[in-house]
């Protein structure tokens, strides 16, 4: 694999960053602040602007953070970054990365490593599951900013007790019937579909990969995960749009009132409160369903990591800025303004968090701690596409005969890990 050749520069950056934290003063050579470009997908509540303004002010004139806004669609945002970084664009200083991009960007040599005191600072108090998403081959390449995870949302007026497993949930939904018992998931042919499969496989006790270039996919757990997807895809309580569903359509489907269950991220609660109060008053929350009753839930894990570009001409300041942008105060701002869960587990008793997630802040914390990260590999995009193309739509999976699907998936994944095409 091709690795970043920025070790010396990273060491210099670390030293300068540590010095700047001690001095707390100074400016650029021209007497004004250095402009740092933060490339990131914008959030509607304005939290990114807020934390960038605060960190700029706290730099005492050393830097000013400017935005380069990326498309809200994750695939389009990634493509823009890949093209710019592939061209060694020096205008990029700080990169807002989806957690699944860190490994491939690091492998391509596009990120500087976090080391020493700055690395300890940005990982202090952070969930182990989240730190794992910021590492590649044992080295830290991202400062965890926010995290996210999915919960099970259900109608308390339809269901007496939240189901523990997917099988129990589908059984209960089918008893209610499609008139009020629909199940909302994310099953379009996109990254959310891969996140769903990964969560099921992890809960069943398996992994997609056992290393960056090694397919794991044990048949027993994989069959358990595939059986869930196939059963729901062919069930009368699958949402009518299951083959094109995503986080937003699932939210809208649940708010429409004919669904008993939904797996989705934390934003779904606030959305229902605002858009469907009659549904929201009967909206319960519980742990993401398990695949096997005696094997723990491993819900999806999302969020952003902040990386420093290998081509930044201001890497010392970029490390300092990224540390501020990802710090506890910034995380609380992101929770307050955009409902994004903190990556720092010590913040879950803070009133900002308990207000954002009334009654379920500790459930969110436990879910992030238990979450199953998607595999860290330079070939991640190929791996994800192999899963999507093999298993979509879920109705194509025959729960009574899983061998053909398993064999095809394993073959396609074996091919995928041999490729590292970033585009």
Helix (H), strand (E), coil (C) string for the chain = CCCCCCHHHHHHHHHHHHHHHHHCCCCCCCCCCEEEEEEEECCCCCHHHHHHHHHHHHCCCCEEEEEEEECCCHHHHHHHHHHHHHCCCCCCCEEEEECCCHHHHHHCCCECCECHHHHHHHHCCECHHHHHHCEECCEECCEEEEEEEEEEEEECCCCCCCCCEHHHHHHHHHHHCCCCCEEECCCCCCHHHHHHHHHHHHHHCCCCEEECCEECCCHHHHHHHHHHHHHHHCCCCECCCHHHCCHHHHHHHHHCCCEEEEEEECHHHHHHHHHCHHHHCCEEEECCCECCCCCCCCCCEEEEEEEEECCCCCHHHHHHHHHHHCCHHHHHHHHHHHCCCECEHHHHHCHHHHHHCCCCHHHHHHHHHHCCCCCCCCCHHHHHHHHHHHHCCHHHCCCCCCHHHHHHHHHHHHHHCCCCCCC
Strand partners for 97: 305
pLDDT at 146: 97
Residue 204 structure tokens: 């069943």
pLDDT at 30: 56
Q: Let me know: does 180 contact 387? Beta carbons within 8 Å.
A: no
Q: Is the peptide bond before 2 cis (omega within 30 degrees of 0)?
A: no
pLDDT at 7: 38
Which domains, ranges and CATH numbers included, belong to the chain?
Answer: 7-147+301-370 (3.40.190.10), 158-300+375-416 (3.40.190.10)
pLDDT at 215: 97
Q: Which of 21, 36, 15 is nearest to 312 (CA)?
A: 36
Residues 218, 219, 221, 222: is their CA dihedral positive or negative? Answer: positive
Q: Are strands 135-136 and 139-140 parallel, antiparallel or unpaired?
A: antiparallel
Distance from C-alpha of 223 to C-alpha of 243, rounded to nearest angstrom: 20
pLDDT at 397: 98
Distance from C-alpha of 351 to C-alpha of 140, rounded to nearest angstrom: 30
Q: Let me know: does 358 contact 197? Beta carbons within 8 Å.
A: no
Q: Quote the pTM value.
A: 0.91
pLDDT at 422: 55
Q: Let me know: does 4 contact 111? Beta carbons within 8 Å.
A: yes
Distance from C-alpha of 346 to C-alpha of 223, rounded to nearest angstrom: 37
pLDDT at 421: 52
Residues of the chain with pLDDT under 50: 1-28, 423
For 95-125, what is each residue's pLDDT tens digit? 999 999 999 999 999 999 999 999 999 999 9
pLDDT at 94: 98
Q: Are strands 283-286 and 139-140 parallel, antiparallel or unpaired?
A: unpaired
pLDDT at 5: 37
pLDDT at 122: 98
For 259-271, what is each residue's pLDDT tens digit? 999 999 999 999 9
Conformational region of residue 261, where left means phi above 0, alpha means psi within -120 to 50, and beta covers everything else = beta
């Amino acid at each position: 694999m091709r690795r970043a050749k920025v070790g010396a520069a990273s060491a210099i950056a670390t030293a300068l960053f540590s010095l700047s934290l001690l001095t707390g003063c100074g400016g650029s050579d021209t007497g004004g602040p250095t402009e740092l470009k933060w490339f990131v997908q914008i959030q509607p509540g304005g939290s990114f602007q807020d934390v960038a303004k605060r960190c700029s002010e706290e730099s005492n004139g050393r830097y000013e953070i400017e935005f380069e806004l990326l498309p809200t669609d994750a695939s389009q945002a990634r493509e823009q970054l890949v093209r710019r970084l592939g061209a060694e664009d020096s205008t990029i200083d700080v990169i807002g990365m989806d957690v699944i991009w860190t490994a491939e960007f690091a492998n391509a040599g596009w990120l500087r490593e976090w080391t020493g005191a700055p690395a300890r600072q940005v990982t202090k108090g952070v969930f182990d599951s989240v730190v794992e998403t910021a590492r590649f081959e044992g080295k830290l390449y991202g400062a965890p900013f926010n995290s996210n995870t999915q919960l099970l949302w259900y109608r308390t007026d339809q269901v007496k007790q939240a189901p523990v497993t997917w099988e129990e949930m589908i059984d209960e939904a089918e008893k209610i019937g499609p008139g009020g018992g629909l199940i909302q998931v994310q099953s379009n042919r996109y990254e959310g579909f891969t996140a769903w499969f990964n969560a099921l496989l992890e809960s069943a006790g398996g992994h997609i990969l056992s290393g960056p270039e090694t397919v794991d996919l044990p048949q027993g757990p994989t069959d358990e995960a595939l059986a869930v997807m196939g059963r729901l895809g062919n069930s009368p309580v699958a949402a009518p749009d299951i083959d094109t569903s995503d986080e937003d359509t699932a939210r809208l489907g649940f708010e429409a009132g004919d669904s008993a269950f939904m797996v989705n991220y934390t934003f779904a609660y606030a959305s229902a409160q605002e858009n469907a109060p009659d549904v929201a008053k009967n909206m319960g929350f519980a742990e993401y369903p398990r695949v096997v009753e005696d094997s723990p839930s491993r819900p999806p894990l999302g969020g952003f990591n902040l990386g420093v570009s290998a081509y930044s001409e201001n890497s010392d300041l970029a490390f300092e800025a990224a540390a501020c942008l990802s710090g506890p105060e910034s995380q609380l701002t992101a929770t307050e303004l955009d409902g994004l869960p903190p990556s720092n587990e010590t913040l879950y008793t803070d009133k900002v968090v308990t207000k954002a997630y009334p009654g379920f802040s500790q459930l969110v914390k436990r879910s992030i701690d238990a979450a199953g990260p998607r595999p860290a590999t330079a070939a991640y995009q190929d791996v994800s596409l192999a899963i999507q193309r093999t298993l979509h739509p879920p109705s194509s999976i025959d729960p009574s005969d899983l061998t053909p699907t398993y064999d095809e998936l394993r073959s396609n994944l074996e091919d995928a890990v041999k490729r590292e095409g970033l585009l």
